[in-house]
Amino acid sequence: MQMIQFGGNVLPEISKLYPDVPQGVVVKSVTPGSPAAAAGILPGDVILEFAGTKISSVKDVVSALGFNVGRKMCMKLVREGNSKPLTLCFITRDASDAYSNAATQRSTYSQGVKWLKQSSLRSYSPNWGSTLTGYPLILCKLKPNALAELNLPIQVVKGSIGKVHVLVPWNQLGSASVQITLEGIYGVAIPNSELPSQEEILMGVRNRLERAELIRQHQQQNASAAAGEEETFFSRLTSRILDNLVITIRDFHLRYEDTTSNPTSPFTCGIIMESFTIETTDANEKKIFVDRSQAAPTKTYKVAKLKKLAVYWDKLSSSTVLQKSKDFENDMRNVIYSDFGQKDRRWLLVPPCSLTVRFTKNESLFFTKESPKYRIQATVENLSFHLSREQYEEMLFMYKALTRRMAVEAHFWYNRHRPFLSISNYSIVWWDYAVRFHSKKKKLRFRWSVVRKMARDRKMYIALYKQHHLQKNALKMEQVSFMQKLEDSFPLELIIRLREIAEQQFEAAKSSSQSNQSWYGYFFGDEEKSDVLTDEGKADLKKAFEETVALEEVSIPDDCSILVVELELRKGESGLFS
């Protein structure tokens, strides 16, 4: 069904045909066999209301269709020859074969989920790359070097995620929430006594560059959006999903096993949690579905509940080591549920407690102490803290061992790779050691040859980036390899800046080519630009300056409140054991 918008200044020639109708949408054509054709909609009909909403543009009809696919819809329309408006009802198509706009949005989100699993999550688990469309994912193993880019003094030797379930109700996005469920998140870490390999370092560099590029693109999109631009269907759909997103985490257990800090008394510590949920509610903490298209809410409520959170510190024996367990998932889960039955709980630093956090956002523009912009209300039940002398001594051993290990690694970086052979018999090995670990540390960047090479590499990167990412031209294998080498060696801030320069040059060249193609430039050449401001430009500049000064001078009211945090503790205790 094709439609034409009219009313006001939009297509006034059509408005003359319907003098009694202030605004609406004219049906231009109807596809044979479609639900609209089956309902009796004819070309020339004027749509006034659709699904209880007054129609003023084609976008209103498209939005109503997108949020109510597969449902019975009624519309009020005016038809030539009828003095009173007609009401026709029909059932829209299912999301699988609905109108192209909704299908496009669904495809976009599907591709987004696939990209997230392939690019970002693949760095942490090999299962993400092999399974793209299977929901849920079962038993995703964690890569041992998943956290290498953080350069932590610990190393994850074993980990898994039992279940990842992403539920997207495509047919009911207008009334049902998107749910993300993670179950069985387990991990075991040990002291990190090795430096990261070259592959791990490169993986961390590339992951940081990818995240920085996503942030940069998001900032560019926000900056380029016009202030008065209406929300698109995609942005409204995204906002609706985020407003009603439900996240659930069950069976969370991270464990640290240490046999090196104090070999005579090995120990283990960890954090466990039974469940965590966050969802959208009303003022009475009842789950609701927020629909901003009907009426903008004055306040938005989110509730996060954390059940049975505990922190433990215990002795480690050969029978309790879990990093080499054959039944790893069950053993990690038993710590959450079975070991809490022990009567002696001195191994628990923080016994199981529950936490409820209520987050309230004031959607209006008036913030007072009674109704601030953000209000966070946290309630903690059964919060306790227990510490024994043995646990305290083991904590000191762990702290000293970690700091000592990092100091030794920093001091003996060169000695670790120092050849053990004599320099007279193996001079080549010593020469390689000197070049790799001593010559590179010298300040060579101020030499003229180094400066020229750096400038040449930067220009080459800008040219390759424009050719590959902006002009969409395929690069040769050696060009791709050279570009990747530059990204691995350049600082992150420099890469982002070079990409911005490349985009600016690309847009400038595009604007220049468009101006050269105009009829005035074709006959008379481009008009020479003048750096002198006109009277109108001077007036605009003065107005902008005065508005900026006025904004800086605006004083915040005394009763304006941005953030209020309320913490309530129910039944807590602390204890020290000798």
Chain segment 10-53, per-residue pLDDT in tens: 444 455 555 566 667 778 777 777 777 777 788 878 887 877 77
Indicate if 372 and 504 belong to the same structural domain: no
Which of 101-110, 123-132, 150-159, 218-227 has maximum average pLDDT?
A: 150-159
pLDDT at 452 over 50: yes
Indicate if 285 and 348 belong to the same structural domain: yes
pLDDT at 557 over 90: no
CA distance 231 to 242: 15
pLDDT at 101 over 50: no
Torsion, Cα of 419, 424, 430, 432 (10° steps): -130
- pLDDT value at residue 417: 58
Residue 122 binned pLDDT confidence (cut-offs 50, 70, 90): low
- 357 vs 197 pLDDT, higher one: 357
Indicate if 91 and 139 belong to the same structural domain: no
CA distance 505 to 471: 12
Domain for residue 319, yes or no?
Answer: yes
Return contacts of 396-401, CB within 8 angstroms, 24+ apart.
397/261, 397/262, 397/265, 398/258, 398/261, 398/262, 398/267, 400/261, 401/191, 401/258, 401/260, 401/261, 401/262
Indicate if 78 and 210 belong to the same structural domain: no
- 54 vs 23 pLDDT, higher one: 54
Mean pLDDT across 440-467: 75
Closest CA to 235 of 66, 471, 451, 360: 66
Determine the residue type at 219.
Q
Q: Are 78 and 21 a contacting pair, CB within 8 Å?
A: yes
Mean pLDDT across 436-440: 58
- pLDDT value at residue 471: 80
Domain for residue 529, yes or no?
Answer: no
Of 348, 370, 393, which one is at a domain's C-terminal end? 393
- pLDDT value at residue 303: 96
Mean pLDDT across 261-270: 85
Indicate if 200 and 275 belong to the same structural domain: yes
Residue 331 burial by CB count (10 A; 0-12/13-18/19+): exposed, middle or buried?
middle
Pairing of strands 154-167, 137-141: antiparallel
Residue 236 binned pLDDT confidence (cut-offs 50, 70, 90): confident
Of 352, 372, 393, which one is at a domain's C-terminal end? 393
Lowest mean pLDDT among 1-10, 12-21, 119-128: 1-10
Of 354, 370, 393, which one is at a domain's C-terminal end? 393
Percent of the chain scoring above 70 in pLDDT? 63
Percent of the chain scoring above 90 in pLDDT? 16
Domain for residue 306, yes or no?
Answer: yes
The enclosing domain of 63 has a CATH number of: 2.30.42.10
- For the chain, give the mean pLDDT: 74
Total domain count for the chain? 3
Indicate if 162 and 84 belong to the same structural domain: no
CA distance 308 to 355: 8
By three-state DSSP, how is residue 314 classified? strand
Closest CA to 356 of 377, 383, 382: 377
Residue 29 burial by CB count (10 A; 0-12/13-18/19+): exposed, middle or buried?
exposed
Domain for residue 419, yes or no?
Answer: no
Domain for residue 500, yes or no?
Answer: yes
**Interacting residues of 258 by C-beta distance below 8 A, sequence separation 6+:** 190, 191, 266, 267, 268, 316, 398, 401
Mean pLDDT across 391-407: 77
Indicate if 456 and 384 belong to the same structural domain: no
CA distance 135 to 167: 8
Indicate if 263 and 365 belong to the same structural domain: yes
Indicate if 169 and 310 belong to the same structural domain: yes
CA distance 552 to 545: 11
Q: Are 328 and 322 a contacting pair, CB within 8 Å?
A: yes
User: 25 lies in which domain range?
Assistant: 2-98
Interhelix angle for 492-516 vs 198-224, to 10°?
A: 40
Domain for residue 115, yes or no?
Answer: no
In DSSP notation, 413-458 reads: HHHHT---S-TTT-HHHHHHHHHHHTGGGS--TTSHHHHHHHHHHH
Indicate if 220 and 301 belong to the same structural domain: yes
Residue 551 binned pLDDT confidence (cut-offs 50, 70, 90): low
Mean pLDDT across 357-362: 94
Q: Are 85 and 24 a contacting pair, CB within 8 Å?
A: no
- Which alpha helices (H) appear in 225-351, and where do they start and end? 233-243, 328-337
Domain for residue 269, yes or no?
Answer: yes
Indicate if 157 and 248 belong to the same structural domain: yes
Tell me how many degrees the CA angle 266-413-201 measures, rounded to the nearest 5: 85
Interhelix angle for 448-465 vs 492-516, to 10°?
A: 60
Helix (H) or strand (E) holding 110: helix 100-115
Residue 473 binned pLDDT confidence (cut-offs 50, 70, 90): confident
pLDDT at 508 over 80: yes
- pLDDT value at residue 539: 75
Indicate if 330 and 210 belong to the same structural domain: yes
Chain segment 63-79, per-residue pLDDT in tens: 666 555 556 677 788 77
pLDDT at 62 over 70: no
The neighbour count for residue 288, using CB atoms within 10 Å, is: 15
Residue 390 binned pLDDT confidence (cut-offs 50, 70, 90): confident
Domain for residue 157, yes or no?
Answer: yes
